[in-house]
Amino acid sequence: MPEAYCVKCKAKKEIKNPTQVTMKNGRPAVQGSCPDCSTKLFKIGASS
């Protein structure tokens, strides 16, 4: 599972419902939500 920093929780969390997206500039990213507070999480780079 990819991890991203949650600004609201101030901690690194696993991304809930990760979705592979492509940004406007063509770079891959993973988008999802925080499992605790449901804030949107975003991780730039291909999922591993």
Tokens of 26: 């063509």
CA distances (Å), origin 10, targets 26, 35, 41, 42, 46: 29, 13, 12, 14, 23
- What per-residue confidence (pLDDT) applies to 46? 74
What is the value of pTM for the model shown?
Answer: 0.81
Closest CA to 13 of 21, 25, 5: 5
User: How many domains is the chain built from?
Assistant: 1
| Run means of pLDDT, 10 residues per run, the chain, 48 residues | 93 95 95 95 83
Q: Which domain holds residue 32?
A: 3-44
- Tell me the Ramachandran region of residue 36: left when phi exceeds 0, alpha when psi lies from -120 to 50, beta otherwise: alpha
What integer pLDDT is reported at residue 1 of this predicted model? Answer: 82
What does the pLDDT read at residue 10?
96
* Dihedral angle sign, alpha carbons of residues 12, 27, 24, 20: negative
